Structures are given as C-alpha cells and as structure tokens.
Amino acid sequence: MLYEKDNKLWYEFDNNRVCIEAWGPNALRVRATSNASFTGENWSLMEGKPAKARITISKAERKNSAGGMMGFADLSTAEFVNGKIKAFLTGTGVITFSNGKGETLLKENWRRHEDQPSMSLKINGREFRPLEGDSYRLAVRFLANDDEKIFGMGQYQQKIMNMKGCSLELAHRNSQASVPFYVSSLGYGFFWNNPAVGRATFGNNGYEWVAESTKQMDYWIVAGDTPDEIECAYMDVVGRAPMMPDYAMGFWQCKLRYCSQEELLTVARKHKQLGLPMDVIVADFFHWTQQGEYKFDPKFWPDVEGMCKELKSLGIELMVSIWPTVDYRSENFKEMMEKGYLVRTERGVRVTMQAFGQEVFMDPTNPGTREFVWSKAKQNYWDKGVRIFWLDEAEPEYSAYDYDHYRYYLGTDLQVGNLYPLYYAKAFFDGMQKAGMANPLNLLRCAWAGSAKYGALVWSGDIGSTFECFHRQLRAGLSMAMAGIPWWTTDIGGFFGARTDDPDFHELLLRWFAWGCFCPVFRLHGVREPQHGFDGDFISGIGSFGSGADNEVWSYGEDCFQVMKKYLFLRERLKPYISAQMKLTADKGTPIMRPVFYDFSTDKETWNIDDQYMFGPDILVAPVIEKGALKRNVYLPSGAKWTNAWTGEEHQGGQAITVDAPIDIIPLFLKNGARLPIKE
C-alpha cells in the first residue's frame, strides 16, 4: 500500500515498511524496516533545510501474478519530487531515483518475477534476515551503471580512487576509516546513514550494501549539477568543519618520541634559533604515568605549565597524545569500571588491547564517559596550557578485530561500532568549547560521517615508508575529502621502516615533504631507525623508555635540509591563500584538497585522473610518487590556461604535458594567471 502522511511517502506490505521524505534541497532520506516502527535515530543526519516537495500517488488494482499463483503485483505507483531529485516507488516496493532531466541515477535491484518477468531468482532489493530480538542482517541492492564512477567512502589503503569495482569493509582499523558517502559521476551523492559493521560492494553486476546487525535501513541521496553542489549539500546535513585555527595552517613537528620536556624544548628552541617556522610540536604517547590517567609523568615532564608558556612565547602550540585505553593498574580504572565507562566484552577476559599492559578501551558513546575523560584531560592538560589533543587509537585498535565481541553503551559493536571515532572527537570538542575555545581542532586516526563538525583532523594511520605506500596516501586523502573529511594529513615520510641515514629514504622523504606542503595540514612524523634509549622498564616504568632516531628537518644532512627549508617557507607564504580556502570549507563545505574533476567536471578526462589534484581553486598539484623519477606527465584540464608556477611557462588546458621534476620541485600549475607566492 502506498500513501502520503506527514509530507512523507509511505509504503507498507506485510512486515515491510518504507518511508521517503525530503531532507534538504534536492535530497531525500529513505528508511525501511521489518519492525513495527523506526528507531527514531538520526545518527549523523542533522535536520535538512526546508524543501518544497511534491508527492503524487496513482492507484491501480492489485492483481495476482504468475497466472493467479501465490504472490501479488500492485500496479500502483508514486512519485516524490524534491527539486532536482525524484523517487519513483512502485506498488511492489521498488525504488528508482532520477534527476530533473529524467535520467536514472540509481535503481534498486529486485530480481523476482513480479518486477522483472524474466527473473525467477527471488532475490529482493532489500533483504532483512532476522537475528536475535529486533535486529536483522540487512542487504540493500542496486543496479550498476557501466558508465558510472564513484568517489569517496573514506580512507582505504589501496591505489584506487574510483571505487567502482571495489568491495569495501564498512569498519574501522588502524589506517582504515569507513566514511560511507560517495559522489557519483552521474550527478548524485549517496550516504549510507548506518554505523553498523558491514560491507559495500560496487560491482559491475550490481551494488550491495550490507549491515551485519541493524534494526533498519537508512540512507540519504542528493542530486546536483556539480560535485561541489553535491558535496556541500552533504556537508549541510552532516555538519561542516569549523574554521581552522591559524596555528594549524603552518608546520607541525612530530616524532616518535620526545621522551622528556627538555628534549622537546631543545628542538623547539633550535627551530626558532635557525629562523625556521614551526606552529605545533607534539608530545607523543607514553608521556603519562599510566594508560587511562591522562597526565604527564612528572619525572620526565616536571613543569608542564612552564613548558607551555615558553612554547607560546615562541609562537608554538603543544599537542598532547591521548589514548582511549585504560590499564587495570590505572588510578581511574576502578571508578570507570563501576560507572560503566569501559567497553564491554561478550565473552572471556575483559581485555580489549594489550599495549605494555592489560587495557580496556573507554566507551565514548556513553555521555558520562565523555564528561569523565574530558574532566581529567582538562585538569591535567588544558588547565596547564595545552590547547590541542592527539586523540590516538580512535578506531579503536583492538588487539583482535572481532567486532562481534564488543559492546558499547549505544549497542553492540556490530550495530554501532563505526560511531566510536565520532564520539571520541565529540568528547573533546564539547569540552574545549565549554572551556571557551571557539573552534577546537584535534588530531584523530579515524573518523565517521559527521566527524568534521567536531573539529576532527584525521591522519592516515601507521603506514610504511615506501613509495608504494606514498601512492596509497594520495588516493586516500582525496577519497576522504570527497567523503566529507576536509581536514586530513599523513605522517610525512611514513611511520614505519625508515633509516635516517638511508639515501633512498631521503628521496622518498623529500618527495613526501613537498607534497605535505600542499596537504590541509603539513606535519612531519615517524619512527626512524636506529632507535635509541629503549633500555628502560617499559612495563612498569611507562615513560622511562627512550626515543626513536632524530626526525627534525636538519636530521638528514645539508642537502635534504635545504629542500625541506624551501617548503617550510613556501607554506608560510601560502598561509593567506590557505586561510581563505579554510573559510570556504567552514562556510560552505568545499574541501581545499580535492580531485581535479571537482573543479572541472565537464572535462571527461578529469574523472580518470587520480595522481594529481586541486589545492583550492588556483593550484594544480602533481606530486612525484615514482621512485627515481625526474619528470612526470601532467594533465591540464580544459576550460582554463595554466602557468607552470616554477618556470612561468604557459599552457592551454585540455592537454597532457611532460614537465621536469628535479628532487627539489613538485610540479605546480596556476590557473588563469593566478598570482600566488610560490617562488620566493
């Protein structure tokens, strides 16, 4: 039965319920369930702006199908039109989406006789398989379009940016962030508004979304004429990033690990003595007395307040690492356990991670947990001058990714697990705002849809120091931008496996450093070899172990230093341009780092480009990501004139060219005579 109620289009048959409603201009929210009613959860969807929609229902007699055999074919139809998008719903429950031109954008894939007379497979486009209680394993299927390209979906460690043909786990891991929104080359965006663990498959023979345990289907779809229109509509309903703070737009210095206050201050002082820019420096993990105590070990960090004051006098902010792990030996463990602030396990011993002890992750889906953890961080960090936090282990990084084993305040890990980084970010964002900060920013290793509105700057996780890994990060960053996470960065040079004295690594580091200059955040990090000082008692002493090899810009010899110094000052000169783009991100939702097709969608070739990108509207960036390369091919989009930022040579768009790329040069092109201070 099709009917209209409360300005929504409803379909009901047996135990199947579907609701379609306008959710912002040119957008629809679609829910379905086999339960008696919907849950009422909006998850990451905020209320959409009011939209004028039109619902039309055409009734027709229901007839027996297959010559009077069991089954029904309802010939009624309904249309739901909201601006540029239209949903067409049949009396048998099949949904088709089209744009204002009548072109099909997306259609459910029902392979049964009443919908496709040549199909007797009895495969439904929406399938609820019952589990215990009122939960189901959900599968939602759509027809594939041979000409479609799909971009977004978050961060996956693969050398592929077009997700067409990919199967993606809808779950978080170290270096993997599932953010289930994509922009289609057909002119629509699709958001799977379900935090359940599952899988998305964009096969050539059909698309399928699976939630392993859920109570309802919930997705949002929008039509638009340009990728920017689609992206910004999505950001309107999940939340835009605040304005990026000024300090975040410069250079961030980081390594594994500064093991004492004096070591960290020595590096900061030297940067300034050399006249080098630095805006943020990081006190990384195990500076604390114990996991879950959220405070500096006074043996190695005796005057945190004085340290912060000195750094601020140098124009540097201190970022401090937070882990969500709580050790059984922590002074807070007993209270957090009693109050239900820790992740539960369904069986066996209550241990969720082993990192130099037996730990249980805190549960940020519980509002009490968020308030408790922030209160400790405020007392021991914020009140002493710390203004940025590194919210590490944000997936969280379980010792075993057995998603059926863990349970949160809001439900099982299978049902709501992808919300963990969202609420982790929210805990600190809310606390920092309450403490008086207008636009908090914190670094996390993971995100879900809507994380941007909580000031989440995501980095790509613990990755290797190889050119092959470098390839993957470029695609990951562009995919995160399209998925609605505009603040993104990497460990420049990679995290694992590099020696400070290795010439091959020097090449990789310089190529990565130049690319980092044109990322939303410019941050050097990594555990370099050979490490030293790891002779303390790590188990009981916590902070008494040593540091990785040096990882400062002067640590790799004079030749490397001069190249990195060049890009340090280039980033400084670009700050006004970056600030203007970050304001656009905050006001509208446009990411500063985006694929070339984002700005040139009418040039079909740009939809095939995945190794260069736009950094704001005026800079085309073509990183050198091949070992040993001293030249590279660059495609210049049609519809603009392009100037080589280093040589001044001009080129017409709509062509591929080959440019020189010596070790100190990242190919850059300026659009239509844009005047930016690339060269000093």
Which 8-state DSSP code applies to residue 353? B
Q: How many helices (H) and strands (E) does the chain have?
A: 11, 43
Q: Which two tokens stand for residue 169?
A: 């786990």
Q: Which of 229, 395, 413, 610 is catalytic?
A: 395
Q: What CA–CA distance (Å, rounded) separates 299 from 680?
A: 45
Say if CB 141 and CB 122 are below 8 A apart. Answer: no
Count of CB atoms within 10 A of residue 371's CB?
Answer: 14
List where CATH 2.60.40.1180 sits in the chain. Answer: 593-671
3-state SS class at 9? strand
Which numeric CATH code is attached to 2-238?
2.60.40.1760
Find residue 221's DSSP bridge partners: 28, 190
Active site residue 228: no
Q: 293, 392, 491, 603: which one is catalytic?
A: 392
pLDDT in tens, 537-562: 555 567 667 788 999 999 999 999 99
| Range(s) within the chain of domains with CATH label 2.60.40.1760 | 2-238
Residue 491 near residue 544, CB atoms below 8 Å? no
Q: Any catalytic annotation for residue 392?
A: yes
Provide CB contacts within 8 A for 485, sequence distance 6+: 154, 155, 177, 179, 447, 451, 452, 456, 458
**How would you label 465-480 residue by residue, b for 16+ Cβ within 10 Å and e otherwise?**
bbbebbbbbbbbbbbb
- pLDDT score, position 114: 78
Q: What is the pLDDT of residue 68?
A: 47
Rounded Cα distance, 590 and 603, in Å: 20
Which pLDDT value is given to residue 69? 47
Q: Which residues of the chain does CATH 3.20.20.80 include?
A: 252-322+368-391+416-459+526-556
Two structure tokens written together for 73: 């074919």
DSSP-derived letter for residue 108 is: B
AA letter at 435? A
- Report yes or no: 644 and 669 within 8 Å, Cβ to Cβ: yes
Q: Classify domain 593-671 at the CATH superfamily level.
A: Golgi alpha-mannosidase II (2.60.40.1180)
Catalytic residue among 41, 430, 462, 605: 462
Secondary structure, 3-state, 155-217: ECCCCCCCCCCCEEEECCECCEEEEEEEEECCCEEEEECCCCCEEEEEECCEEEEEEEEECCE
Active-site residue 148, yes or no?
no
Place of tokens 């496709």: 116
- Give me the helix-helix angle, 467-482 and 503-516, nearest 10°: 20
- Residue 75 confidence (pLDDT): 87
Q: Give which of 620, 626, 635, 634 is closest to 663, Cα–Cα.
A: 626
pLDDT at res. 72: 59
Task: Encode pLDDT of 146-189 as tens digits.
Answer: 999 999 999 999 999 999 999 999 999 999 999 999 999 999 99
Strands (E), 254-386: 280-283, 317-322, 325-327, 344-345, 359-361
**In 314-443, alpha helices (H):** 333-338, 367-380, 413-416, 420-434
Q: Helix H segments across 357-400?
A: 367-380
Q: What is the predicted pLDDT for the residue at 543?
A: 67
CATH superfamily of 252-322+368-391+416-459+526-556: Glycosidases (3.20.20.80)
Q: Give yes or no for a cis peptide into 25 (omega within 30° of 0).
A: no
Residues of the chain below pLDDT 50: 67-69
